[in-house]
Amino acid sequence: MDRRQYLRSAIALSVPLASGCTSNLPFSSSGRAKLGDINAINYDTKPHTLHVLVQENNEPTHWSSHHLKPVEREGTLVSLKNTWGDNDRQDTLYARRDMNGYWKKTTLSNLPEGATFDFDIGIQTDKEITFSMSPVNETKKG
């Protein structure tokens, strides 16, 4: 899949979550899902820096900052290097745009136990941060 195709599909997936919060998903779980890959995507026409923090039990397991080019140029998608591992755990994913003091967050606590989910963190045209997730098919990933 080329980059443009990926971005189109990512936009389609992020729209349902843009107005809601992933913590309202109708799953029941002990919160021991796996955090898969994380991608940072800029849908805005201006460049931004996206700061990403992953915590487990209030302890940081990943921190990174990513300079994202505007959407009309190549390079608006950045895949984060996995420093958070792949074990079952209770992660909280935080993101903020530029030097904004407000961190948006989502958790894995409502996701099915043992399942792995990839996340896209998007900066939308209204500068809102959105999280979209997709389950990982373990047979294809390995």
pLDDT tens by residue, 4-14: 444 444 444 44
Residue 106 domain-assigned (yes or no): yes
pTM above 0.85, yes or no: no
* Residue 118 in domain: yes
15 in any annotated domain: yes
Q: Is residue 71 part of a domain?
A: yes
Q: Which two three-digit tokens encode residue 61?
A: 């397991």
Residue 126 sits in a domain of what CATH number?
A: 2.60.40
Q: Is residue 111 a part of any domain in this protein?
A: yes
> Within a domain: residue 104?
yes
Q: How many domains does the chain contain in total?
A: 1
Q: How far apart are CA 66 and CA 11, in angstroms?
A: 19
**Would 25 be classed as within a structural domain?**
no
| CA torsion through residues 112, 34, 31, 16, sign | negative
The more confidently predicted of residues 135 and 29 is: 135
Residue numbers of the domain that contains 53? 3-20+32-81+89-137
Least confident of 16-20, 30-34, 35-39, 62-66: 16-20
> Is 114 within a domain?
yes
